[in-house]
Amino acid sequence: MPAAETQLPTRDRILFTSAELFRRQGYAGTGLKQITAQAPAPFGSLYHFWPGGKEELAAEVIRTGGDFFLALYRAIIDAAPDLLTGVGDFFTGAGETVAATDYQDACPIATVAGEIASTHEPLRAASADVFELWLGALTEDLVTAEVPRARARELSLSILALLEGAFLLCRTLRSTEPMTAAGAAAVALLTPDLEADA
Amino acid sequence: MPAAETQLPTRDRILFTSAELFRRQGYAGTGLKQITAQAPAPFGSLYHFWPGGKEELAAEVIRTGGDFFLALYRAIIDAAPDLLTGVGDFFTGAGETVAATDYQDACPIATVAGEIASTHEPLRAASADVFELWLGALTEDLVTAEVPRARARELSLSILALLEGAFLLCRTLRSTEPMTAAGAAAVALLTPDLEADA
DNA sequence: GTCTATAGAGAGATAGAC
DNA sequence: GTCTATCTCTCTATAGAC
């Protein structure tokens, strides 16, 4: 998994490398010099494309990470025969990805979100927007499956909490066991509400 | 909530202040100068008590945070009429604490754990020990309540994932809604297994 | 737009007086 | 054990040549 994707434009190389380093090492733990060295890109290019510096770059990393993960969710759900199966598939795929990257890559925004929630208000707001984007997608899918909206919102919050908590536990314990358990719990939680209209 | 607890010994003031700053700002985001300034304590005292510097200090913060949270869990569970009620109470209390600290204080180790999982192996191992400590406590309580051990382990992982995920969502969304949903989900998950022997 | 050099601040760590 | 001063390194950010 070489970090330098040489055929991409400079701006994208910086953006993708930033995303990788931020999600693995966090915001404060990643230096701009490290990003441009690994991209690779001249240091000055970073300030050419993001005049607002580190915080502006991180805000875009959070937004694009949110869009990417939403697209992944949509693709997996649409490929599944039904929503319940799709949610189970999503947890299974998450566990496979975490293990395949040697427990480095999990949620695209969680590491940064936890670190800056109390210290960088613009980045906290960007992270909140992303979480609400994901919650909205799952909530709408549940509503489409005849779950009442208030209950769909509550279930979405629990499913996302299970996923995020499992990501942290998998990376820390270096095991996929938490993701397997969380996926089973997510399916168990959804089953009564989704079977009601089957 | 003054950070300086003047009557405590220097070592404890540094330790408690470090715990507060690490859980709110993360490991890389917290400077040793900031810790000794806020404790308050002379800068040299930090290296007197922790010759290994920042990493040795953080390792002790993780361990003591783990012990503190375990004691809190034990107190809440023991005060409840039964395990199911106790778990619900724990989530309720967690939500209250997060809100009462203006969404700053949540899990004592999660912020650091997520940040250093891929970069500081000794701290990752210390965080893993703490998570296993908590998982062991809940698993034993479930086994005592007649839940088969393998199932108790799986449920413990799901409950802890729900808690950690809800902590992150509450801090990022600045709302207790995720903790309320996660608490309800935790109770719903446990109910069939705990009612089986009732 | 690309790239290098460097400014200015702050980091972690150490030495040594008291 | 307490406390100050300082070393060296790295950080974010900027200036300016090309």
Which stretches in chain B have pLDDT values below 70?
A: 1-6, 196-198
Domain-located, residue A100: yes
Reference A191, options B2, B19, B185, B31; nearest CA is: B185
User: Which nucleotide lies nearest residue A44, CA to C1'?
Assistant: C3
CA of A17 to C1' of C3 (A): 19
User: Which nucleotide lies nearest residue B37, CA to C1'?
Assistant: D3
Total number of domains in chain B = 1
pLDDT at position A2, please? 43
Domain-located, residue B69: yes
Q: What percentage of chain A exceeds 90 in pLDDT?
A: 94
Domain that holds residue A164: 58-196
Are A114 and B25 an interchain contact pair (Cβ–Cβ within 8 Å)? no
pLDDT at position B195, please? 82
d(CA B27, CA B113): 9
pLDDT at position A129, please? 98
3-state secondary structure (DSSP) of residue B146: coil
Are B165 and A160 an interchain contact pair (Cβ–Cβ within 8 Å)? yes
Identify all chain A residues contacting B114, using CB atoms and an 8 Å cutoff: 26, 110-111, 114-115, 168, 171-172
Are B181 and A163 an interchain contact pair (Cβ–Cβ within 8 Å)? no
Domain-located, residue A20: no
Identify all chain A residues contacting B162, using CB atoms and an 8 Å cutoff: 158, 161-162, 165, 185
pLDDT at position A195, please? 82
Mean pLDDT for chain A overall = 95
Residues A94, A96, A98, A100: is their CA dihedral positive or negative? negative
Of the residues B158, B167, B174, B187, the best mutation for testing chain A's interface (the one with the most A CB atoms within 10 Å of its CB) is B158
**Section A21-43 average pLDDT:** 96
pLDDT at position A6, please? 55
DSSP one-letter string for A33-59: HHHHHHTT--HHHHHHH-TTHHHHHHH
pLDDT at position A7, please? 75
Are A165 and B166 an interchain contact pair (Cβ–Cβ within 8 Å)? yes
Contacts of B93 (CB under 8 A, 6+ apart): B76
The structure tokens 């009442």 sit at A148
User: Which nucleotide lies nearest residue B50, CA to C1'?
Assistant: C13
pLDDT at position B7, please? 75
Our CA-based measurement puts residue A131 at a distance from the nearest CA of chain B, in whole angstroms, of 8
How many CB atoms sit inside 10 A of residue A182's CB? 30
- What CATH number does the domain containing B174 carry? 1.10.357.10
Of B104, B113, B188, the CB nearest to A172: B113
Of the residues A54, A157, A180, the best mutation for testing chain B's interface (the one with the most B CB atoms within 10 Å of its CB) is A157
Domain-located, residue B90: yes
pLDDT at position A121, please? 98
Judged on CB neighbours under 10 Å (0-12, 13-18, 19+), A63 is middle
Of A104, A119, A172, the CB nearest to B128: A172
What confidence tens digit (pLDDT) does each residue in A84-115 have? 999 999 999 999 999 999 999 999 999 999 99
Phi, psi of B69 (to 5 degrees): -70, -35
Q: Residue B44 in contact with residue B53, Cβ under 8 Å?
A: no
Q: Residue B115 in contact with residue A26, Cβ under 8 Å?
A: yes
Domain-located, residue A185: yes
Of B103, B160, B164, the CB nearest to A117: B103
Domain-located, residue A127: yes
Q: What is the residue type of B52?
A: G
B97, B102, B103, B109 alpha-carbon torsion, rounded to 10° = -60
Phi, psi of A103 (to 5 degrees): 65, 35
What confidence tens digit (pLDDT) does each residue in A130-153 have? 999 999 999 999 999 999 999 999
pTM: 0.96
Domain-located, residue B38: no
Identify all chain B residues contacting A128, using CB atoms and an 8 Å cutoff: 172-174
Of A119, A128, A184, the CB nearest to B29: A119
A82 secondary structure, DSSP code: S
Domain-located, residue A110: yes
CA of A31 to C1' of D10 (A): 9
